[in-house]
Chains A and B, each alone.
Chain A
Amino acid sequence: MKSRLLNVLALVTLLAIPVLAHHSFTMFDTTKQITITGTVTSFEWTNPHSYIEIDVPDEGGAVKHWSIEMGSPSILQQSGWKFSSLKKGDKTTLVINPLKTGLAGGFLNTATLPTGKVLGNGPGRGPAK
């Protein structure tokens, strides 16, 4: 009986496991969105994730650096991104889910490019192309 219970539990849990390519979004606070505006220091079109590195000045002029994780190039291109969508020196505004640890990192929701175009972070995550 005990083993049967374990088997049933195995089935129930099995159905609840998300299938993700690399890692879950658990480390990000998806209940919270914050907006940061700053200057891109690098745009990394890489796997398993792409990244926007950005310097963000506060009201007093002090600069804080943020690392923003995105989907992979395969996922991003489905919402209109290209390897050249951002470059060092570009001004951009990002809406992100911050890291739960409070460190200066997060997961991209949307980015406003210098052209004014708003891009999401893959299908189902922000504006489509």
Chain B
Amino acid sequence: MKTILCAVLAVATLLPAQSTKTPDLTGVWAPFSGGRGGGGDPKIAPPPAGQLVLKPEYAKPYEARRAAEAEATKRGEQLATAGAQCIPYGVPTMMAVASYPVEFIQNANQVTIISEAFSEVRRVYLDQPQAALDDVAPGYYGRSAGKWDGDTLVVDTIGIKPTVNGYRGMPHSEKMHITERIKLITPDVLHDQITIEDPVVLEKPMVYTLAYRRMPDYEMVEFVCDNNREYVDEKGVVRMKIKDK
């Protein structure tokens, strides 16, 4: 009886510690989409992206740009993009650039996220209050404050400058506010649910989820954009420089 009582007490003591244990996101993660790399498993595939609903005054130029891009593609050309000029993607786009991995490095005070493409780095300060928007110089990564909500890392980001393209080229204002809920779905699958709010540009929040697979033992490859042969011609079209010898 005494033994059973001891065992029950031991389990009771352990349970709270296990349930409040902070997940460790440290490691290298490769993005995958539900259909391609996800193997079609609905348990680990990210849910479909929500609807992008721009205010009419922003929807019109956005569509005009998309139409121009489609026309250029038909002609066999690509219109200039930031990426083609080796300009970093910033938050949130850097979280999934083609199949390039991202590395999470976590400690008690900070989560650092490094994207292999363009070697972009963002820092999430844990358990720190978010700064006032007026105190954050607009940039590519803004300021990110994070906290653990049970097993989910909740990251609040402000201060992304409007010239940094948002989700798939969507426009945004300086008031864009991004909330990420980052969670291990299995020990080797990570989801990042991204909610973009912008009272100036969006009619309603844009929500989409990125999914990643763990890449055990992968060592990140350096990516310094020092040999960009693509240039933009006088018509705004991306061209490739070729050498004559």
Contacts and interface: CB of A to CB of B under 8 A. Distances in A.
Contacts of B51: 7, 11
Interface string A1-45: 011001101110110010111111011010000000000010010
Interface of A: 2-3, 6-7, 9-11, 13-14, 17, 19-24, 26-27, 29, 41, 44, 46-49, 51, 53, 55, 65-67, 69, 72-75, 77, 99-101, 103-105, 123
Given A6-B60, A19-B98, A26-B73, A105 B240 contact: yes
Interface of B: 49, 51-56, 59-60, 62-63, 66, 70, 72-73, 76-78, 81, 83-84, 86, 96-100, 116-117, 168-170, 203, 221-230, 238-245
Nearest to A64: B244
Contacts of B229: 49, 51, 67, 69
Contacts of A77: 221
Given A23-B78, A47-B227, A49-B227, 9 more contacts: A2-B56, A10-B63, A20-B98, A21-B98, A27-B240, A47-B223, A48-B228, A65-B244, A74-B100
A48 B86 contact: yes
Contact of B62 (A10, A22, A66): A10
A75 B100 CA distance: 8
B78 A48 contact: no
Contacts of B76: 26-27, 29, 100
A2, A9, A55 pick with most chain B CB within 10 angstroms: A9
Contacts of B66: 9-10, 13, 17
Contact of A47 (B54, B225, B242): B225
Contacts of B73: 24, 26
A97 to B, nearest CB: 12
